[in-house]
């Protein structure tokens, strides 16, 4: 095929595929089969492969996800994405209506009522109809650039039906079927389950690898125009109609009312219908329709006066406390969990609820067999909110926390100043098992394929009894192949992931060891300061406490851990297996003559010649410390293009400011 023919066909395919995306993901009325759709995509991919320069930024092939990002850039919102004030009952809504009518006088007021989608607020920017940037809400003023991830959502048009420049705002969410499918897959892989669709949507969009977001079947509902150039819109309902005509997915379950009592009746109807929706909602949003009236009503410091969010009451259910199960965590903490007669609550079946510690059981007056009221805190975590003593029959029995560890039989102790009981036996099987799960987790050694269920199998079959055993699994390949759901490919992938983890920098290993009180940040500080494992192991409490962020309790915990023969043996086995024991991260150079020595520095705006991470690394090498906010303690602000509120605050406080050219000059001279 010649170039001109290819260019014409690529344009045709792009238009066809995006139309079918709209019909499938927005209108829910597909016109072709999945196989026919796949054939169109294959043809487009083949043509773009032959003529890479003809691939357009709005090509449907851009939705599959590009290369992983090192970090997310910050985005300053031109107009703040404010949160809404809340209404919790009918009187709150009537008060809102009264305030609105008092402010606008004799004018007719119309309200637009929309479902409040339980997802992640996002901002979408288009220039001349082309999608150019997408960001999270963040703190309302500054969010994160997640353009690559948002491109993977097929209900987001990459090119609008008209060449408008605008900002659209909405909610990214995970439909219930996609959430259930994702959790089923994670359960099969032995990975932790997501608590709810909102968490899974937020977690998916904050993945640095856009291919993960692309696999999660996310969707959006667009609910407002943040900025619009070249066209005038008079009302919110008119704006929603425009967004719909441009190709956005706008929720159709919306109504316009002139009477607040009609609004209340509409809300009451949705409280009943809520569970039937294929996505989660946690309330309703009520907005004054007229943009002129919105402008007249204005804003408070935190929210608009022309809108309010009605929060559905937390769904409650009554069930029976059938038992209390105690489990032992990796640090030996013993945690009780309520075992409930299964009950439907907020769209899920609840069987368990956390009780946190023995004091909670005592405070609530719980007896085994009690009828209890259960709700989901924030519609997420099941908790027992009340006991119904009037329903007691006399058959209920008190619960006592065990005096000995349910896993190893060691006597439990209550450490001074702590509420929880703790098993202090370092050889406790539960602690070892939970410790291995922590060791392989993403924030520690990040070994893919080792979820909780796989670790439990390895542990229960005596294949792995310490974290060091993981690095000798290549010698037990036959045993691995005999495990449930472990075929040739799974075993190869697992062994490759274990081998790759040997190259991790020291701070990951240090955090993965699960030393009490030593979190990820402290592990990095220690690794950077000492440089290798031997130096950390030999340090005494006095040497440790001289380091910023290492207090006496953490120092004592470190010294006590490394004194244990078992810990020393594990580290030696890790070393023998080839696990890296040195710090590979950036070292802050010492010396008072460094230009940023001892200085606290804030980066704001966009740098043209380097990424934010490169700038932070350069500052660290020259003795500086980068923080995220400007205060009186800030020594210097480095302002790139489009620097916003941080630059303004620095100027108000009299903090020194340099631009990117000044920053580059300092780097070039050093």
DSSP H or E run through 246? helix 236-246
pLDDT tens, position by position, 140-155: 888 889 999 999 999 9
pLDDT tens, position by position, 448-494: 889 888 999 999 999 999 999 999 999 999 999 988 888 899 899 99
What does each C-alpha distance from 198 to 116, 136, 348 come to in angstroms?
12, 14, 14
Q: What is the pLDDT of residue 57?
A: 76
Q: Which residues are catalytic?
A: 116
Q: What is the pLDDT of residue 290?
A: 96
pLDDT band, residue 378 (cuts 50/70/90):
very low
> Mind spelling out the 3-state secondary structure of 549-568?
CCCHHHHHHHHHHHHCHHHH
Half-sphere exposure of 615 (CA within 13 A, CB side): 27
Cβ-contact 527, 505 below 8 angstroms: yes
Given a cut of 90, is residue 47 above it in pLDDT? no
Percent of the chain's residues with pLDDT above 90: 44
Phi then psi for residue 496, to 5 deg, are -65, -40
Cβ-contact 650, 634 below 8 angstroms: yes
Given a cut of 70, is residue 192 above it in pLDDT? no
Given a cut of 70, is residue 669 above it in pLDDT? yes
pLDDT tens, position by position, 524-552: 889 988 999 999 999 999 999 998 778 89
487-518 burial, b at 16+ Cβ within 10 Å, e below that, comes to: eeebbeebbebbeebeebbbbbbbbbbbbeeb
Report pTM.
Answer: 0.51
Mean pLDDT score of the chain: 87
> Mind spelling out the 3-state secondary structure of 374-412?
EEEECCCEEEEEEECHHHCCCCCEECCCCCECCCCCCEE
- The answer to whether the Cα torsion of 651, 657, 660, 662 is positive or negative is positive
- CATH topology for the 316-398 domain: OB fold (Dihydrolipoamide Acetyltransferase, E2P) (2.40.50)
**54-63, 275-284, 369-378: which has the highest mean pLDDT?**
275-284
**What tokens were used for 375?**
């709700």
CATH of 429-501, one of 1.10.150.20, 1.10.1270.20, 3.40.640.10, 1.10.1200.10: 1.10.150.20
What does each C-alpha distance from 267 to 79, 83, 316 come to in angstroms?
29, 20, 18
- CATH topology for the 3-64 domain: Helix Hairpins (1.10.287)
State mean pLDDT over 211-228. Answer: 91
Report the candidate in 288, 344, 312, 260 with the shortest Cα–Cα distance to residue 117.
Answer: 312
- In the block, tokens 């929210």 appear at 303
636-639/600-604 β-pairing? parallel
Given a cut of 50, is residue 305 above it in pLDDT? yes
CA angle in degrees (0–180, nearest 5) for 369-370-373: 135
pLDDT band, residue 206 (cuts 50/70/90):
confident
State mean pLDDT over 11-32. Answer: 80
Give the rounded distance of the alpha carbon of 122 from its chain centre. Answer: 14
Report the candidate in 586, 578, 536 with the shortest Cα–Cα distance to residue 559.
Answer: 536
Report the candidate in 99, 123, 27 with the shortest Cα–Cα distance to residue 286.
Answer: 99
Q: What is the pLDDT of residue 295?
A: 93
- Break the chain into its structural domains and give their ranges: 3-64, 85-311, 316-398, 429-501, 506-576, 600-669
- Region 85-311: CATH code: 3.30.470.30
- CB atoms inside a 10 Å sphere around CB 612: 17
Q: What is the pLDDT of residue 139?
A: 74
Same fold, 429-501 and 506-576: yes
- CATH topology for the 506-576 domain: DNA polymerase; domain 1 (1.10.150)
CATH of 600-669, one of 3.40.50.10190, 3.90.190.20, 3.30.70.1110, 2.40.30.20: 3.40.50.10190
Q: Which residues contact 225 (CB under 8 A, 6 or more apart)?
A: 166, 167, 168, 169, 233, 239, 242, 243
Cβ-contact 531, 582 below 8 angstroms: yes
Q: What is the pLDDT of residue 60?
A: 80
Query: CA 441 to CA 448: how far, in whole Å?
Result: 8
> Mind spelling out the 3-state secondary structure of 124-139?
EEEECCEEEEEEECCC
Given a cut of 70, is residue 591 above it in pLDDT? no
pLDDT tens, position by position, 311-347: 887 677 899 999 999 988 888 888 899 999 998 776 5
State mean pLDDT over 558-582. Answer: 94
């Amino acid at each position: 095929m010649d170039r001109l023919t290819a260019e014409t066909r690529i344009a045709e395919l792009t238009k066809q595929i995006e139309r079918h995306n709209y019909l499938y993901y927005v209108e829910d009325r597909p016109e072709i089969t999945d196989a026919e759709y796949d054939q169109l995509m294959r043809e487009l991919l083949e043509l773009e492969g032959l003529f890479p320069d003809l691939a357009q930024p709005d090509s449907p092939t851009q939705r599959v996800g590009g290369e992983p990002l090192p970090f997310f850039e910050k985005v300053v919102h031109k107009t703040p994405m404010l949160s809404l004030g809340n209404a919790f009952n009918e009187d709150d809504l009537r008060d809102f209506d009264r305030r609105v009518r008092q402010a606008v006088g004799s004018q007719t007021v119309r309200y637009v009522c929309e479902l409040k989608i339980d997802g992640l607020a996002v901002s979408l920017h288009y220039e001349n109809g082309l999608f150019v940037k997408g960001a999270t809400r963040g703190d309302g003023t500054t969010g994160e650039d997640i353009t690559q991830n948002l491109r993977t959502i097929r209900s987001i048009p990459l090119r609008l039906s008209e060449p408008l420049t605008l900002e659209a705002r909405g909610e990214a969410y995970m439909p219930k079927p996609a959430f259930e499918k994702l959790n089923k897959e994670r359960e099969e892989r032995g990975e932790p389950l997501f608590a709810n669709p909102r968490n899974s949507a937020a977690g998916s969009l904050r993945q640095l690898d856009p291919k993960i977001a692309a696999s999660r079947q996310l969707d959006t509902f667009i609910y407002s125009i943040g900025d619009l150039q070249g066209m005038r819109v008079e009302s919110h309902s008119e704006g929603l109609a425009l967004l719909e005509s441009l190709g956005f997915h706008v929720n159709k379950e919306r109504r316009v009312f002139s009477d607040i009592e009609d609004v209340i009746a509409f809300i009451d109807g949705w409280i009943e219908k809520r569970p039937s929706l294929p996505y989660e909602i946690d309330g309703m949003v009520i907005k004054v329709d007229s943009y002129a009236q919105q402008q007249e009503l204005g804003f408070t410091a935190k929210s608009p006066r022309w809108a309010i969010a009605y929060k559905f009451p937390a769904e409650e259910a009554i069930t029976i406390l059938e038992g209390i199960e105690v489990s032992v965590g990796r640090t030996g903490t013993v945690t009780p969990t309520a075992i409930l007669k299964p009950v439907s609550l907020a769209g899920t079946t609840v069987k368990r609820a956390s009780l946190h510690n023995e004091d909670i059981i005592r405070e609530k007056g719980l007896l085994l067999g009690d009828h209890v009221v259960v709700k989901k805190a924030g519609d997420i975590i099941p908790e027992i909110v009340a006991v119904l003593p009037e329903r007691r029959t006399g058959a209920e029995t008190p619960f006592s926390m065990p005096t000995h560890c349910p896993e190893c039989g060691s006597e439990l102790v209550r450490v001074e100043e702590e509420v929880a009981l703790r098993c202090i036996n370092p050889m406790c099987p539960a602690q070892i098992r939970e410790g291995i799960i922590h060791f392989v987790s993403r924030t520690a050694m990040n070994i893919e394929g080792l979820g909780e269920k796989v670790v439990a199998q390895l542990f229960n079959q005596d294949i792995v009894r310490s974290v060091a055993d993981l690095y000798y699994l290549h010698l037990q390949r036959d045993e691995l192949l005999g495990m449930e759901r472990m075929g040739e490919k799974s075993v190869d992938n697992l062994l490759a992931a274990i081998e790759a983890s040997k190259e991790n920098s020291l701070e990951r290993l240090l955090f993965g060891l699960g030393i009490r009180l030593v979190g990820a940040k402290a592990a990095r500080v220690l690794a950077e300061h000492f440089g290798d494992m031997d130096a950390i192991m030999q340090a005494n409490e006095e040497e440790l406490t001289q380091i910023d962020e290492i207090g006496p309790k953490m120092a004592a915990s470190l010294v006590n851990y490394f004194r244990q023969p078992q810990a020393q043996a594990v580290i030696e086995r890790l070393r023998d297996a080839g696990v890296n024991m040195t710090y590979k991260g950036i070292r802050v150079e010492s010396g008072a003559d460094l230009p940023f020595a001892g200085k606290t520095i804030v980066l704001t705006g966009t740098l043209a010649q380097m990424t934010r991470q490169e700038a932070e690394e350069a500052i660290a090498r020259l003795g500086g410390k980068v923080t995220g906010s400007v205060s009186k303690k800030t020594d210097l602000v480095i302002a790139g293009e489009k620097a916003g509120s941080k630059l303004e605050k620095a100027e108000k406080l009299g903090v020194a400011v340099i631009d990117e050219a000044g920053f580059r000059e300092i780097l070039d001279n050093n």
